[in-house]
Amino acid sequence: MKRILFMILLSTILAVSLDFAYSFEFYTIKRGDTLSEIAKKVGVSVNSILDLNPTIDPNKIWAGQRFKIVKPDGVFETVNKDQALWYIAAEYFTSVKSILKYNHLKNPNMIFPGQKLFIPSSIMCETTDRKTDVIWPVFGMITSPYGWRINPITHKKEFHAGVDIGAPEGTPIFSAISGRVTYAGWDDGYGKMVQVFNGRMLTRYGHLSRIDCYVGERVTQGEMIGRIGSTGFSTGPHLHFEVRINGTPYNPLGYLPYVRWSGERSNPPTPYESGIGY
């Protein structure tokens, strides 16, 4: 039995390694380069460069610095223990079929812990409901609603200006709107935080583990801007998501599209359920 399992695993590794759907390149920064200019020059997004090269600070790049680029544009997801492919597809708001296609896999059950799956930017948020101006920034369950609550850290009554969406650390976060990044960095209780403003509405994303964008960058709705974390005043991995207009916070659920499944029902969707979750 062990021999059979080993041969299946080996054949899967060989099938993936011999027929990559992507390729790596390296770029050496030249004097006067900016990250946005580099991204445009090499044909990838700033966000994928930052996600693939976690040591790069977009505000402190220098001539001679070298980093990795993947083509086509995209990121990598490492399979965790007992993680099903349908869940990874849900995290990226895409389909199992698309992930199988771009990783040259035939069987959705033939993935294993530690395996790296390539997720092209072109398939991210392809199942998202875009009928509203705001889309869901992350796949998960709402663990704390908008409004008055007892702060889980201070144990005092306070107003919660957004919703908390619980998800495993490293889950991708997408911009809920198209706009310009007005903040990307550390902000006290929010920890690592990003703000995106479209001229009318500001969306705020708090407690990130990593930030994949920079101040001044123009991002499109559904573009990856970071990953779930537990930085700042936080009791566990989640996204604090806010919607503000003219500085006033509003309940994000009044702007987000209705979801058929986001963890609120007891039975999760099947792996082949069309448009999973959204």
pLDDT at 210 over 50: yes
Please tell me the pTM assigned to this model.
Answer: 0.85
Cα 33 from Cα 62, distance rounded (Å): 8
Token reading at 149: 């609550």
Give the pLDDT of residue 258. 74
- Where in the chain are the domains? 2-123, 141-254
pLDDT at 159 over 80: yes
For the ranges 123-127, 128-132, 220-224, 256-260, the lowest mean pLDDT is seen at 256-260
Tens digits of per-residue pLDDT, 13-61? 544 444 568 999 999 999 999 999 999 999 999 999 999 999 999 989 9
What is the rounded end-to-end Cα distance, in angstroms, of the chain? 39
Going by pLDDT thresholds of 50, 70 and 90, the confidence category of residue 134 is: very high
Quote helix, strand, coil % in the chain, to nearest 5.
20, 30, 50
Residues belonging to the chain = 278
Superfamily of domain 141-254: Glucose Permease (Domain IIA) (2.70.70.10)
DSSP three-state, residue 182: strand
Cα 274 from Cα 47, distance rounded (Å): 28
* CATH number for the domain formed by residue range(s) 2-123: 3.10.350.10
